[in-house]
């Protein structure tokens, strides 16, 4: 039987290759459309996994302050009335569907639910959101229209990879790949209108001195002023010209003359440059997850060739086939199970065939009522022990092999196998309900819907620089769905830095620092003992409990006084909840400590700090 298997190996390989979908001819219109606006299915899957992971991280980061932000008694009480849904159950549901999206289970539905719940989260938490949240929401929205559940997902575990194209092209993939370049390009154009970017090149200096500065930013401030000015010019050119080079229409002509496709090379280089740019932002400024969301959002531009060079050489090398596996080709459940096992990477060193193609294997299968696994020593395994032999030959599952060596575990495993084997039709039905497959072709109605929103996104970007005007009904739609694209990050200098100081008077006449009780400030920090150095900006990460509180206070200064009332009321609530044994809190006083500075790099960092009373509240 071993010789028969080896004789048919080449024939089966040719048959497998014939199943692969044909790629468009190099140099044709369809080829270049795919090159510019198509995305590799592996890239889509990686983007899905990383975006879902970012959603989970974002949700978990908010979880400790869930009541502080999203309960009616919290600092956002004005946005979360008592009639609104309780936050914890919604968060749990959100986490569950984000995990479904991560593993690719019911991917299309999970994409829709995760996007919608994130939309609700941002709508209810307007004071703590940042540009990264809006970008993450946009990428989740485009994810509804793309087949990012085809690879590395539970949905397609039972499907054969041979039937899948390497790269897909649709309106959804075009929107997905365009989103981040559009942000860079129009952000750069908006910056051109600001003197700190286009005239005196002081933008980087001022970007490093607001309340978001980190330790790395302080190191950059010590560098020569001319270096910061050069860096300002470089970033401006990168944001404007980088996206242009990603979509230059001249690459087909270079291909015709040089027979070399330069587009993948250019995109790989630009991705590396933008990657370093975002990592530099993370080093210099306390921007929370924004740089990492930007990096993940740029992954769609990566070419297929990058993955082919990393993966295919290993596959094309000589592999030792340690196992021969024969299954019932007339059983759909058996075939799906084999496909699932293969897609999980457990059959990389196995040679798999239908038992019906080999009389000896068919006889063994019918005699034992089991699939047949033969190792390199020609030892035969059946039922549960056949699965254990597969585990033994995979480095990731080898520990399970050793854990299942006891006689009673094997007995239970064989018993379960026999029960499933006796109910294959029912098992196949339930498996088909659980894993239905994920089509790589996007339905036409979904593509037309995506086309409408893509045109809306481009129009919104053009409106942000005044080229076109957005009709009111479209503007209301994009605001409702938070699809508005106005990217003004660091487009103007921050010429005032400051921090909130919250005090309270208790019934025994003492004035206390409320910040450490309410949670907005790191435990142990005391504003009454704050050593203010006028020569260097304070590092926000040393004061704020986390990025969400830092963003909240950055927005609080310019918001309606009703938010001051919500904040003060929350401090009263937090005092009663956390310190019931202390004297009753009577009054809350919210002050702002600020430092103005002149619009010039050469000027001294700041004048004297001053303290201003903004709001008083009686508990």
pTM: 0.83
User: Which residues on adjacent β-strands are paired with residue 325?
Assistant: 352, 373
For residue 198, the Cα-to-chain-centroid distance in whole angstroms is: 33
Q: Please answer whether residues 361 and 1 qualify as being in contact, where contact means their C-beta atoms are separated by less than 8 angstroms.
A: yes
- State the greatest distance between any 2 C-alpha atoms of the chain, in Å, as a whole number: 94
Average pLDDT of the residues in 54-81 = 84
At a CB cut-off of 8 Å and minimum separation 6, what does 71 contact?
Answer: 77, 80, 87
Most confident of 152-161, 189-198, 602-611: 189-198
**Measured distance CA(352)–CA(326) in Å, rounded:** 6
Q: Would the pLDDT of 40 be above 70? A: yes
Contact 225, 206 (CB under 8 A): no
Confidence at residue 317, expressed as pLDDT on a 0 to 100 scale: 47
Residues 6 or more apart whose Cβ sits within 8 Å of residue 13: none
Q: What angle do CA 435, 439, 440 make, to 5 degrees?
A: 135
Q: What is the mean pLDDT of residues 349-356?
A: 85
User: Highest-confidence range of 269-283, 327-341, 397-411, 431-445, by mean pLDDT?
Assistant: 269-283
Fill in the DSSP letter of residue 233: H
DSSP H helices, 285-382, are 290-298, 304-316, 332-343, 359-368
Share the mean pLDDT of the chain.
81
- Is the pLDDT at 1 greater than 70? The verdict is no
Q: Compute the half-sphere exposure of residue 533: CA atoms within 13 Å on the CB side of its CA.
A: 5
Cβ atoms of 52 and 317 within 8 Å: the answer is no
Return d(Cα 618, Cα 139) in angstroms, integer.
44
Under 8 Å between Cβ of 210 and 196: no
Place 300 in a pLDDT band, splitting at 50, 70 and 90. Answer: very high
Q: How far apart are CA 309 and CA 217, in angstroms?
A: 37
CA distances from 452 to 134, 458, 460 (A): 19, 10, 12
> Given the DSSP bridges, would you call strands 496-506 and 372-375 parallel, antiparallel or unpaired?
unpaired
Average pLDDT over residues 99-115: 94
Please check the confidence at residue 233 and state whether its pLDDT lies above 90: yes
Of 26-35, 137-146, 401-410, the range with the lowest mean pLDDT is 26-35
Q: Strand pairing of 372-375 and 380-382?
A: antiparallel
* pLDDT at position 288: 85
| For the ranges 37-46, 194-203, 437-446, 544-553, the one whose mean pLDDT is highest | 37-46
**Picking from 186-195, 212-221, 296-305, 445-454, which range would have the lowest pLDDT averaged per residue?**
212-221
Residue 474 neighbours by CB under 8 Å, 6+ apart: 456, 459
50: pLDDT strictly greater than 90: yes
| Burial class for 383, CB neighbours closer than 10 Å (0-12, 13-18, 19+) | buried
User: What pLDDT does residue 525 have?
Assistant: 44
Is the predicted pLDDT of residue 411 greater than 60, yes or no?
Answer: yes
pLDDT class of 540 with cuts at 50, 70, 90 = low
Q: Coil, strand or helix: which one is 31?
A: helix
Predicted local distance difference test score (pLDDT) of residue 161: 64
Between 147 and 215, where is the model more confident?
Answer: 147
Average pLDDT over residues 442-457: 95
**Gap between the Cα atoms of 299 and 293, Å rounded:** 10
- Residue 314, helix vs strand vs coil: helix
Of the candidates 21, 22, 37, the residue with the CA atom closest to the CA atom of residue 300: 37
User: Tens of pLDDT along 326-338?
Assistant: 988 888 788 878 8
Lowest mean pLDDT among 440-449, 562-571, 587-596: 587-596
Query: What's the confidence (pLDDT) of residue 26?
Result: 64
The pLDDT value recorded for residue 85 is 63
Residue 310 reports pLDDT greater than 70: no
| 223 — pLDDT class (breaks 50, 70, 90) | confident
What average pLDDT does this structure show over 534-549?
64
Helices (H), 481-560: 515-518, 547-556
Strand order in the sheet with 350-354: 350-354, 323-327, 372-375, 380-382
| Paired residues of 505 in beta bridges | 511, 587
Query: How many CA atoms lie within 13 Å of 410's alpha carbon, on the beta-carbon side?
Result: 12
Q: Is the pLDDT of residue 128 over 80?
A: yes
Residue 445 reports pLDDT greater than 90: yes
Q: What angle do CA 406, 398, 378 make, to 5 degrees?
A: 80
- Residue 31 to residue 233: CA distance in whole angstroms: 36
3-state secondary structure of 413: helix
pLDDT-derived band at 494 (thresholds 50, 70, 90) equals low
How does residue 537 score in pLDDT terms, banded at 50, 70 and 90?
very low
Provide the pLDDT confidence category of residue 313 given band limits of 50, 70 and 90: very low
Quick one: what percent of the chain has pLDDT higher than 90? 31
- Most confident by average pLDDT, 157-166, 170-179, 315-324, 489-498: 170-179
The answer to whether residue 11 scores a pLDDT higher than 70 is no
Q: Regarding predicted confidence, which is higher, 176 or 552?
A: 176
Distance (Å, whole) CA 59 – CA 57:
5
| Dihedral Cα 213, 215, 216, 220, nearest 10 deg | 70
11 CB neighbour count, 10 Å cutoff: 9
**For residues 87 and 234, which has the higher predicted lDDT (pLDDT)?**
234
Higher pLDDT, 423 or 598: 423
Distance CA 261, CA 27 (A): 9
């Amino acid at each position: 039987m071993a010789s028969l298997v080896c004789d048919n190996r080449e024939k089966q390989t040719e048959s497998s290759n014939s199943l692969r979908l044909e790629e468009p001819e190099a140099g044709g219109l369809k080829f270049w459309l795919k090159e510019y606006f198509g995305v590799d299915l592996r890239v889509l899957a990686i983007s899905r996994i990383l975006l879902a992971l970012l959603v989970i991280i974002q949700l978990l980061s908010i979880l400790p302050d869930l009541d502080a932000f999203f309960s009616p008694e919290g600092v956002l009480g004005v946005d979360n009335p008592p009639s609104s849904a309780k936050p914890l159950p919604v968060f749990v549901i959100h986490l569950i569907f984000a995990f479904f999206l991560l593993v690719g289970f019911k991917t299309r539905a999970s994409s829709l639910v995760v996007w919608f719940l994130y939309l609700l989260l941002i709508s209810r938490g307007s004071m703590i959101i940042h540009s990264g949240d809006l970008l993450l929401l946009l990428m989740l929205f485009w994810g509804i229209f793309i087949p990012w559940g085809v690879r590395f997902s539970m949905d397609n575990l039972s499907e054969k990879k041979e039937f899948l194209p390497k790269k897909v092209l649709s309106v959804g993939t075009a929107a997905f790949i365009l989103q981040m370049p559009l942000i860079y390009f129009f952000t750069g154009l908006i910056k051109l209108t600001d003197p700190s970017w286009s005239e005196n090149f002081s933008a980087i200096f001022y970007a490093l001195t607001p309340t978001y500065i980190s330790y790395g930013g302080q190191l950059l401030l010590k560098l020569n002023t001319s270096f910061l000015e050069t860096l300002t010019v470089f970033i401006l050119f990168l944001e404007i010209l980088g996206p242009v080079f990603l979509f230059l229409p001249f690459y087909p002509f270079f291909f015709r003359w040089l027979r070399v496709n330069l587009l993948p090379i250019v995109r790989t280089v630009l991705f590396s440059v933008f990657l370093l740019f975002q990592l530099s932002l993370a080093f210099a400024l306390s921007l929370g997850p924004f740089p990492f969301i930007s990096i993940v959002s740029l992954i769609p531009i990566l070419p297929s060739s990058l993955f082919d060079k990393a993966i295919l050489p290993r596959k094309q090398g000589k592999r030792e086939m340690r196992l021969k596996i024969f299954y019932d080709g007339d059983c759909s459940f058996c075939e799906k199970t084999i496909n699932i096992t293969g897609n999980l990477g457990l059959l990389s060193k196995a040679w798999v065939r239908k038992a019906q193609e080999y009389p000896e294997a068919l006889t063994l299968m019918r005699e034992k009522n089991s699939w047949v696994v033969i190792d390199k020593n020609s030892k035969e395994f059946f039922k549960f022990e056949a699965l254990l032999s597969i585990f033994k030959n995979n480095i990731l599952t080898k520990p399970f092999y050793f854990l299942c060596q006891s006689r009673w575990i094997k007995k239970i495993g064989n018993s379960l196998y026999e029960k499933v084997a006796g109910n294959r039709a029912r098992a196949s039905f339930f498996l088909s309900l659980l894993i239905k497959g994920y089509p790589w072709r996007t339905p036409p109605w979904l593509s037309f819907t995506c086309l409408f929103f893509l045109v809306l996104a481009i129009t919104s970007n053009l409106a942000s620089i005044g080229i076109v005007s957005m009709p009111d009904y479209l503007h209301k739609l994009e605001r409702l769905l938070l699809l508005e694209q106005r990217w003004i990050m660091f487009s103007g200098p921050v010429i005032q830095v400051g921090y909130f100081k919250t005090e309270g008077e208790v019934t025994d006449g003492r004035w206390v620092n409320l910040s450490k009780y309410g949670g907005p400030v790191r435990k142990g920090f005391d504003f009454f003992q704050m050593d203010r150095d006028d020569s260097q900006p304070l590092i926000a990460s040393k004061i704020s409990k986390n990025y969400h509180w830092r963003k909240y206070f950055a927005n609080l200064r310019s918001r309606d006084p009703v938010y001051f009332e919500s904040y003060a009321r929350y401090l009263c609530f937090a005092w009663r909840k956390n310190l019931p044994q202390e004297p009753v809190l009577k009054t809350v006083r919210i002050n702002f400590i600020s430092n103005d500075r002149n619009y010039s790099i050469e000027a001294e960092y700041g004048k004297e700090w001053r303290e201003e009373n903004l709001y008083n509240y009686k508990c």
